[in-house]
Structure 1
Amino acid sequence: MKNRFSTRSIIHFVFAALAFLAAGAAHAAGDVGETAKQATNWTAIIMFMMFVLATLGITKWAAKRTRSASDFYTAGGGITGFQNGLAIAGDYMSAAAFLGVSAAVMSSGYDGLIYSTGFLVGWPIMTFLLAERLRNLGRFTFADVAGYRFRQGPFRAFAASSTLVVVAFYLIAQMVGAGQLIKLLFGLDYWIAVVLVGTLMMVYVFFGGMAATTWVQIIKAVMLLAGVSFMAFMIMLKYGFNPEALFADAVRVRTDIASRLPGATPESAQKAGLAIMGPGGFIKDPVSAISFGMALMFGTMGLPHVLMRFFTVPNAKEARKSVLWATTWVAYFFILIFIIGFGAITLVLTNPEMANTETGMIHGGAGASNMAAVLVAKSVGGNMFYGFISAVAFATILAVVAGLTLSGATAVSHDLYATVFKGGKARVADELRVTRITTGVLGVIAVLLGISFEGQNVAFMVALAFAIAASANFPVLLLSVIWRGCTTRGAVAGGFLGLISSVALTVVSPSVWENVLGNPPGSALFPYSSPALFSMSLGFIGVWLFSVLDGSARAREEHQAFEAQQVRSETGLGAAGATAH
């Protein structure tokens, strides 16, 4: 399939964007304003530009190989289990994981572990419950799996709606991280950084599809794992590889900062310092802790851009291998992120060039705490390593946003346009054109939301996306593949119930109602930080109740079709035909 846009035009566009960034950096170098933007680091900028050009080369290569819908959506199913495991880990090691979790550990200490454990423990469940079934039943999207025996029109409408909502919330975190990173590197205003990054990142999906996204993820995952390994090694080297010494120094720093606050006493300062070694700093009650943990654990199995990854491998064996490798890399990564978060307390918060040592706040205004890991890199490795980690952090955001945008665009083009509106008879060229139009729309939405949520911790924003995925997608996906009694009516009604309740409770929770919308403290209508405990329960109850109450002839046909679905999901018989398009 010929691309309407020439490679030369893409290169011209990217060079123009890079030139604009460089010009902005040169201007900002002589004008560091009240937001305390960092001095321009030309080493970091050069490495950043080198990475952009390298990924542009990958996109050019992928565009030449993209000749069909299968090539665009799933890289033709030709990715190995090991490669896909790295790509899945790359999807998971997003701005939220690298920037947000390290910032959460720096701010809340022990409570930051809830992100690490919550993000990780969903993978064993994925391995045993869903990985093989996903590969055997699916083609391009999770709706292919969950809607295998259901009426396509209403079910695809739900699947596309939930996918777009999850993608939108997930994109917020990536855009906030991208904006803060480019602001730090180039000294640009935050909103300009978000707009430029959003525009640049759309190019990769627009032209390269899943092949480009996958290889950018793999390269990024390798570089990020190498980078965090070096950072954690250097931090532990400083403390003689004694974790107790690191934690004790972090408590000392937090105690010193607390002692300088107005009205502080030695007892209150000591209590504040020790607080980072116990729970309660971020999650303050058992209900919030359970709900938050459920969102992170079960949301993993409802993330559309992660579920799409299982369709890029040739068979179920490679799908299981993908999860095994992904779990290994993600577990290793989060152990190191915990060390880096405590290292940020001792290395960054005590450095007057990086933070206000009186208040313990990183220079740069709202959202600057998300840059803790990048500043740790500068502390342990100097400007060269700082440039490398900055480029890797941008690669992290670029690759994850590409995967997110691709999954959202696929939901519109494949689930709605090709399957529902065209009855499965859409031309490949038309379907891909709809994908690219949707990519542009999602890019604009991501930029607008990224600007609106500037001051939020990016890990927490991703946790909200996980809560929605756990409430809407996971109940439908799980029950549709393991329960004979699940029907179209139950899946659609329960899915929408979980989706609407999770979004509504998120909006009226303190994190959005007060922190984003600016309403007075204590005015939030929903008191907990995550809605998953309530909205996921509603989703499961809705799927079960409306399925049980469905006595239609269509429902009986769907019950009978369960045997054929189960045979294919367990054995893979017929799966090869689904990927031969």
Structure 2
Amino acid sequence: MALSWALASGAQSVTSGHRTLFVTLSIVVTLVTLGITLWSRHSTHTTGQFYTGGREFFAMQNGLALSGDFMSAASVLGITGSMSLYGFDGFLYAIGFLVGWVVFLLLIAEPMRNTGRFTLADTLSLRLRERPIRTAAAVANLTTVIFYLLAQMVGAGALVAVLLGSSGGGTKDVVILILGALMIVYVVLGGMKGITWVAITKTVLLLVVAAIATVLLLDQFGWNLSHLLGTAASKSPQGKAFLSPGLEYGKTVASRVDFVSQAMALGFGLAGLPHCLMRVYTVPTARTARKSVGWAIGMMGGFYLMTLVLGFGAAALVGPATIKASDPTGNTALILLAQAVGGRPGSLGSTVMLGIFACVAFISILAVVASLTLAASSSLAHDLYAAVIRKGKATELEELWAARYASIGIGAVAVLLSLLAQKMNVAFLVSLAIAMAGSSLVPTMLFALFWRRFTTKGAVWATYGGLIVSVTLVLFSPVVSGSPDAMFPGVDFQWFPLGNPGIVSIPLGFLFGWIGTLLSDERPDPAKFAEQEVRALTGAGAY
């Protein structure tokens, strides 16, 4: 997931033909998705329709949307680039994602669908005090979403600026403004139904384009995977060691621990990402929710297997030296590979492949930011406004308009912060968002579902404690200062040695929940837990 978007040096390889095709395809896809949104607005008149799309999606449709919500440009560019430089170590991210989805499938999908209505806080408030737990869940949701939004929007500005052959800040500003306006329109007009179909469209395009690139790549090596891997190793400075694990994470004890920390964050954090959690409520039954996650795992598994081929293919066709010269973090690898599999530089095939890849990367970002905005507006309107501020007295129409206004506000804040944060390290923002979700929301969610003695104080301690610890550790890590690749390389105030805090913050999130429960004077009602348990397992009383 490491996606620093330091792509400026790759702009020289983008010709006017690439730019024209990229702009044309992006406009066409944007118009198509806007048409989907306008079509969807006619069935977005209630809170249920706005938050869940009327719970009318089939398992395969919801699985495609889940895949689309998660497979951002970070997956497309970051994983491929990391593998092109570090071999199998770069595949850690894909494996971590898939482990996270298995956790989601086995522990989260069905119980959450049966016990919740629109948000995670609906499940938590079934047997915990409503106002404090809804407030805590909303704060954690919004914080996670904002950091994830910043990562996507800042990255989009940098990517499109490079593809347009511009390194100036003005182009990035315009892209961020356009992206912000589009995501607001998608959410306000289309609600969940419109966003779901946009995500489905994105996933289909992504899978098709990745499959085409994989076929073209394998064809160049005579469908001989051994030949491809051997060529990649021969072009790597590490030689045959390029095909063995340990190039990035096996050099020191700290790097090995960081490997475990990254894996923990990916495995646990995914289950707490708000825009993924909300998908369990868009289907009619818990069984369909489980099947949706199964479809998502299958499609993402296939996609990440293709990135495995594409990553080594980039090393073989382009070479790690050329990739590093374009971008030290490897994030231009897929762009360079698209040109290579299309033919010689400047040819029609090269132009078409790069234009298509760039367009898919853009629509990937667009689909993800729209889903994130809806997840945040749901927390604001349903949890904070309707439940905490209005104490359940808001009418459905009032809550619906609150959600729409919240979407506009979140979009405006995200645009403003993205304009100010263009020099920030995007990898820092992404890893922080995932670590926060895994350290705060996941412990609270699992305790609430499976621990009979869990109390409101335990939930509040787990949520806020995990959130604060994860943010603090990242701020004092090498990601922010004290290293050449840090966000502030000229200063050194780091004392936490790991790039990802998951190995510390996730266990502490569970520990805070346990200690808070032990210190609580609250006596949980066994009947409420029994009711929740029956509902979670059987679906009796589910919405």
TM-score, scaled to structure 2 = 0.89
- In structure 1, the residue matched to 2:287 is 317
In the alignment, the residues of structure 1 paired with residue 76 and residue 314 of structure 2 have an alpha-carbon distance, to the nearest angstrom, of 13
Offset, 1:448: 4.6
Determine whether 1:404 maps to 2:372: yes
- In structure 2, the residue matched to 1:200 is 182
Determine whether 1:328 maps to 2:259: no
In the alignment, the residues of structure 2 paired with residue 454 and residue 112 of structure 1 have an alpha-carbon distance, to the nearest angstrom, of 25
- In structure 2, the residue matched to 1:263 is none
- In structure 1, the residue matched to 2:341 is 380
Determine whether 1:250 maps to 2:232: yes
Offset, 1:371: 3.8
- In structure 1, the residue matched to 2:539 is 572
Determine whether 1:149 maps to 2:135: no
Give yes or no for contact 2:181–2:411 (8 Å, CA) kept in 1.
yes
CA 1:180–1:70: 2 relative to 1, 3 Å:
same
Give yes or no for contact 2:428–2:480 (8 Å, CA) kept in 1.
no
1:270-285 → structure 2 map (5 Å cutoff): 270=238, 274-275=241-242, 277-282=244-249, 284=252, 285=255
In the alignment, the residues of structure 2 paired with residue 290 and residue 377 of structure 1 have an alpha-carbon distance, to the nearest angstrom, of 32
CA 1:84–1:411: 2 relative to 1, 3 Å:
same
In the alignment, the residues of structure 2 paired with residue 456 and residue 370 of structure 1 have an alpha-carbon distance, to the nearest angstrom, of 16
Offset, 1:107: 3.1
Give yes or no for contact 2:466–2:508 (8 Å, CA) kept in 1.
yes
Offset, 1:516: 5.3
In the alignment, the residues of structure 2 paired with residue 34 and residue 117 of structure 1 have an alpha-carbon distance, to the nearest angstrom, of 28
In the alignment, the residues of structure 2 paired with residue 372 and residue 453 of structure 1 have an alpha-carbon distance, to the nearest angstrom, of 25
3-state secondary structure, aligned to 2:488? coil
Q: Amino acid of the residue matched to residue 540 of structure 2?
A: L
Specify which of 340, 361, 366 is matched with residue 325 of structure 2: 361
Unpaired segments ≥5 residues, structure 1? 1-31, 256-269, 351-355
Specify which of 402, 417, 442 is matched with residue 385 of structure 2: 417
Determine whether 1:546 maps to 2:513: no
Specify which of 405, 412, 427 is matched with residue 395 of structure 2: 427
Determine whether 1:38 maps to 2:14: yes
Offset, 1:337: 1.1
In the alignment, the residues of structure 1 paired with residue 190 and residue 150 of structure 2 have an alpha-carbon distance, to the nearest angstrom, of 23
Offset, 1:121: 0.9
Give yes or no for contact 1:487–1:550 (8 Å, CA) kept in 2.
yes
Give yes or no for contact 2:9–2:326 (8 Å, CA) kept in 1.
no
In the alignment, the residues of structure 2 paired with residue 38 and residue 420 of structure 1 have an alpha-carbon distance, to the nearest angstrom, of 52
Offset, 1:234: 1.5
Q: Amino acid of the residue matched to residue 281 of structure 1?
A: E
- In structure 2, the residue matched to 1:170 is 148
In the alignment, the residues of structure 2 paired with residue 173 and residue 420 of structure 1 have an alpha-carbon distance, to the nearest angstrom, of 30
Unpaired segments ≥5 residues, structure 2? 1-7, 343-348
In the alignment, the residues of structure 2 paired with residue 400 and residue 505 of structure 1 have an alpha-carbon distance, to the nearest angstrom, of 27
- In structure 2, the residue matched to 1:15 is none
- In structure 1, the residue matched to 2:346 is none
Offset, 1:101: 1.4
Give yes or no for contact 1:96–1:459 (8 Å, CA) kept in 2.
no
CA 1:112–1:103: 2 relative to 1, 3 Å:
same
In the alignment, the residues of structure 2 paired with residue 449 and residue 371 of structure 1 have an alpha-carbon distance, to the nearest angstrom, of 25
Offset, 1:533: 1.2
Give yes or no for contact 1:71–1:210 (8 Å, CA) kept in 2.
yes
3-state secondary structure, aligned to 2:480? helix
Give yes or no for contact 1:83–1:218 (8 Å, CA) kept in 2.
yes
Q: Amino acid of the residue matched to residue 360 of structure 1?
A: K
- In structure 2, the residue matched to 1:75 is 53
Q: Please give the per-residue CA displacement for 1:143-185, whole angstroms capped at 9, x wherever unaligned.
A: 1123321111110111011101111222233123312332133
Q: Please give the per-residue CA displacement for 1:114-161, whole angstroms capped at 9, x wherever unaligned.
A: 101001112222222121111101111111123321111110111011
- In structure 2, the residue matched to 1:506 is 474
In the alignment, the residues of structure 2 paired with residue 549 and residue 69 of structure 1 have an alpha-carbon distance, to the nearest angstrom, of 38
Specify which of 497, 501, 507 is matched with residue 527 of structure 1: 497
3-state secondary structure, aligned to 2:75? helix
- In structure 2, the residue matched to 1:14 is none
- In structure 2, the residue matched to 1:485 is 453
Q: Please give the per-residue CA displacement for 1:485-540, whole angstroms capped at 9, x wherever unaligned.
A: 10111111121101110111112111123555414476412110111111111110
Give yes or no for contact 1:106–1:344 (8 Å, CA) kept in 2.
yes
TM-score, scaled to structure 1 = 0.84
Give yes or no for contact 1:104–1:457 (8 Å, CA) kept in 2.
no
Offset, 1:430: 2.7
User: How many pairs are equivalent?
Assistant: 518
- In structure 2, the residue matched to 1:160 is 138
Q: Amino acid of the residue matched to residue 387 of structure 1?
A: G
3-state secondary structure, aligned to 1:370? coil
Determine whether 1:441 maps to 2:409: yes
Q: Amino acid of the residue matched to residue 232 of structure 2?
A: A
In the alignment, the residues of structure 2 paired with residue 457 and residue 244 of structure 1 have an alpha-carbon distance, to the nearest angstrom, of 36
Offset, 1:470: 0.7
Q: CA RMSD in A?
A: 2.5
